[in-house]
């Protein structure tokens, strides 16, 4: 039995359906990842065309969410899955909601990038946004990887990485406030930068949610709203398998 199979089923079709569903979710994830990284690149490089493309492509993310949702409902209705299969479906339904929200945030960043592209660029060329974008993108990528590998341990590590992103977001916030106080002419741009960093920080939160669903899917434990220490104890300490 290969590593991807989610367990033996009497019906081979059911197995294939579940596999296909998972692949669709990851395809949607890939699109969202690209949307997000394109939006940040558009902002950092001042590429208005790319920014427009990001906002134009958001409908594709939404369409994928709807079609995966329908697929999940169909499987729930016709196969009545149980145990780990049911957890997989539930986790997928939740994951795609978060992916769709990430898509919306990326669209927002793209929209702001298009507006900023025609404005004067700051001397630091949005270095801090680039940095935050890289961190968030790494987190999202790792989250989707853990989903693909059903790797709960990696997912747990990513959940803890979210703190770094929150710190970076706060640093940008403070920096923007300083800029605005020094020179009121930068207020418009600083507010836009704040919006962008807020959107990126939200993407990090959504990626964290996806990791939590991965842990739920693998161990059947709900680790949402749990403090870090308790979380580690809960998942690492006990033998859940």
Stretch that binds other proteins, among 114-122, 146-154, 175-183, 215-223 (CB under 8 A): 146-154
Of 22-30, 113-121, 179-187, 212-220: span binding other proteins (CB under 8 A): 22-30
CA atoms within 13 A on the CB side of 5: 11
145 part of the interface to other proteins, by CB under 8 A = yes
When binding is defined by CB under 8 A, the residue of 50, 91, 92, 214 that contacts other proteins is: 50
71 is a contact residue toward other proteins (CB under 8 A): no
How many residues touch other proteins (CB under 8 A)? Answer: 25
CB 115 within 8 A of CB 192: yes
> Judged by CB under 8 A, which of 9, 149, 221, 224 binds other proteins?
149
31: contact with other proteins by CB under 8 A:
yes
Which of 90-98, 144-152, 169-177, 219-227 is the region at the interface with other proteins (rule: CB under 8 A)? 144-152
For residue 131, state whether it binds other proteins (rule: CB under 8 A): no
According to the binding rule CB under 8 A, does residue 188 interact with other proteins? Answer: no
Return the residue of 144, 159, 165, 217 that touches other proteins, per CB under 8 A.
Answer: 144
136 near other proteins, rule: CB under 8 A:
no
Shortest separation between residue 53's beta carbon and other proteins, angstroms? 5
> Per CB under 8 A, does 148 bind other proteins?
yes
Q: Note whether 6 binds other proteins by CB under 8 A.
A: no
Applying CB under 8 A, does 43 fall inside the site for other proteins? no
Shorter beta-carbon distance to other proteins: residue 33 or 85: 33
CA distance 21 to 241: 24
Among 6, 14, 15, 22, the residue binding other proteins under the rule CB under 8 A is 22
> Per-residue b/e over 115-154, b at no fewer than 16 CB within 10 Å?
ebbeeeebeeebebbbebbebbbebbbbbbbbbeebbbeb
Residues that bind other proteins (CB under 8 A): 2-4, 19, 22-23, 26-27, 29-31, 33-34, 37, 49-50, 53, 137-138, 141, 144-145, 148-149, 151
């Amino acid at each position: 039995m290969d590593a991807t199979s989610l367990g033996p089923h009497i019906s081979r079709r059911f197995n294939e359906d579940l596999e296909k569903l998972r692949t669709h979710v990851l395809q949607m994830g890939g699109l969202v990842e690209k949307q997000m990284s394109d939006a940040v690149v558009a902002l950092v490089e001042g590429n208005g065309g790319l920014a427009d493309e990001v906002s134009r492509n958001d409908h594709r993310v939404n369409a994928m969410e709807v079609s995966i949702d329908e697929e999940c409902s169909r499987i729930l209705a016709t196969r009545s899955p149980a145990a780990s299969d049911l957890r997989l479906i539930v986790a997928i339904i939740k994951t795609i909601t978060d992916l769709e929200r990430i898509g919306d945030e990326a669209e927002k960043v793209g929209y702001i990038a298009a507006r900023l592209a025609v404005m004067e660029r700051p001397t630091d060329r949005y270095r801090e946004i680039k940095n935050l974008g890289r961190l968030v993108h790494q987190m999202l990528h790792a989250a989707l990887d853990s989903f693909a590998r059903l790797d709960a341990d990696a997912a747990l590590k990513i959940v803890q990485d979210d703190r770094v992103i929150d710190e970076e977001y706060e640093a940008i916030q403070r920096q923007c406030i300083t800029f605005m106080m020094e020179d009121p002419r930068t207020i418009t741009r600083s507010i836009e930068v704040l919006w962008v960093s807020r959107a990126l920080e939200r993407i990090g939160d959504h990626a964290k949610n996806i990791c939590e669903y991965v842990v739920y899917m693998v161990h059947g434990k709900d680790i949402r709203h749990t403090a870090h220490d308790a979380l580690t104890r809960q998942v690492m300490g006990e033998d859940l398998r």
